[in-house]
Structure 1
Amino acid sequence: MTTLQAQQQALLQAITAQAPPADTRWLRASPGGAAPRLGIYRHAYRARLAAALADNHTVLQRALGDDAFAELAAAYVAACPSTTPSIRWFGDRLADYMCSREDLVPHPALVDLARMDWALRAAFDASDAAELGLGALANVAPQQFAGLRFTAHPSVRLLVMDWTIEPAWRTLREHDPASGADEPQLPEPEAAPHTLLVWRRQLDTQWRSLSALEAALLQAAFDGEPFGALCERAAAALDGDAEQAAATCAGALQQWLQDGLFCAVQPALG
């Protein structure tokens, strides 16, 4: 290792470590001393990470308020240092971290707000892929549908949620704190396990809550199960009503294609 590399690693450690180094004699002397200058870098590093966290979790930041979010951000920066070259991806573990810090989370529904924030940002930044439209199935013979397998669009996310936070999320997202308007009255979230679908259409992120049956069918499709297996799942959930199951799956598939949730389809094997 060269002298320069050793100095760079020492400076990085001094900036990112929880406590400043006791010995700063290796830093160049200055009239004000080395420690104050190092403190500026240490503060700037953490402040930039906290700002990135707020940018990636805009609605959560508004829900908590500036002071409470700053406290959460400081704790998260200390516990979960950045591990990627891009600051864009800082915060991927925030929701899980919040589950372990009830002292910093005044309501458990805030964890779902963090999950929704992150999923929408991740969907926006996901890779591009052509959407599979209804026309892609125009030439598929009826007897071939049972073997069709679909590939999810890269932007699609399925989130298992514990609370009905979507109304509050929408209200907070539409509220602009800089406008000077009064803080909005938020709907009280209810404990209700459900699945949230998140995806992107061109440059617009989308989301909607799913019924338990649609969530199970869509997850099965993403797992590579053929369309026939989806119909069997639906029939089992509908007390063996094969006709109703076929209609349910056909309607769901039409909706999924209209939403642009798939990017490819594979015919039956063999």
Structure 2
Amino acid sequence: MSVIQQQQRLAAAIRDGADAADLLAGDHATGLEVYRHAYRARLVAALTDNYTVLARALGDEAFDALGQAYLAARPSQHPSIRWFGHELADFMAAADDELVPHASLIDFARMDWALRGAFDAAQAPPLEPASLAALGADDWAGLVLHLQPSVQRVVLAYAIEPAWRVLREWEPESGDDQPELPEPVAHEHTLLAWRQAGETRWRSLEPLEAVLLDGVAAGLPFALLCERAAHALGDSEAAAPAVVGALQRWLADSLLQERAS
């Protein structure tokens, strides 16, 4: 067996728990088990860092059980530990009630990951109102807007935001008990997360704005955004003012980036 093959088998033994008894004996086998435990503990710690609020919602013991189950089912494949856990919400959706006692916890995972993604994303020069003011009347119909790389849109099944906020503001290190949480109510909607002036922000979207942002993400020009608004509102005359109002808020929130024509 070559050195490379030995290294690959040892890596599999550490990462996946594969058998390596023929490679190690005595104290070396014990050392491998210690290293394997440390490796798994480090990944679960990274998962806790990526899903801080979910971890608080579940509690240390339950989150550790979830993390260990996730690691066993979906070992880390990315060279950066930052991206470990990118499939956690999907894993939770298929897990049993013992690991995920309430379906709203899946939305906690989705919200945590979206905000983490917004925090780490690149930042492009923001679209300024002056750029739009310089457009001629004939330019608006074909205007295509572009979202900042940090903009994340996630469909949630529950209104978890009030409970998420309470848990985010709670400091377990202070010794205070977990605060009483608002009951998550079933309510399908879209969560918007982004970064502005170095700070991660989020808000829940009304259906019309969610539809319009979907259109922006799809590269639809302004005229087609107005058509979408007219269909959603059932009122063609109200469509353009609604899109302009949304555009003004997007500019204020720095959701859009400048693009060279």
What is the TM-score when the length of structure 2 is the normalising length?
Answer: 0.95
Superposed CA RMSD in Å reads 1.5
Distance in 2 of aligned mates of 1:20 and 1:167: 47
The match for 1:147 is 142
Distance in 2 of aligned mates of 1:93 and 1:236: 35
Distance in 2 of aligned mates of 1:33 and 1:249: 68
The match for 1:105 is 100
| Residue 10 of structure 1 pairs with residue 9 of structure 2 | yes
The match for 1:65 is 59
- Counting only pairs closer than 5 Å after superposition, residues 129-148 of structure 1 correspond to structure 2 as 129-148=124-143
| Residue 89 of structure 1 pairs with residue 83 of structure 2 | yes
Match of 1:56 among 31, 50, 58: 50
Verify the 8 A CA contact 1:134 1:258 in the aligned structure 2.
Answer: no
| Residue 183 of structure 1 pairs with residue 178 of structure 2 | yes
Note the residue ranges of structure 2 that are not aligned, 5 or more in a row.
none
- Counting only pairs closer than 5 Å after superposition, residues 1-270 of structure 1 correspond to structure 2 as 3-21=2-20, 23-24=21-22, 26-27=23-24, 33-103=27-97, 104-239=99-234, 241-265=235-259
Distance in 1 of aligned mates of 2:176 and 2:16: 40
Verify the 8 A CA contact 1:133 1:258 in the aligned structure 2.
Answer: no
Secondary structure in 2 matching 1:183: coil
Note the residue ranges of structure 1 that are not aligned, 5 or more in a row.
none
Distance in 1 of aligned mates of 2:33 and 2:196: 44
Verify the 8 A CA contact 2:16 2:75 in the aligned structure 1.
Answer: no
Distance in 1 of aligned mates of 2:144 and 2:259: 6
Distance in 2 of aligned mates of 1:12 and 1:75: 19
Distance in 2 of aligned mates of 1:36 and 1:20: 13
**TM-aligned CA deviation for residue 45 of structure 1:** 1.0
Count of residue correspondences: 260
What is the TM-score when the length of structure 1 is the normalising length?
Answer: 0.92
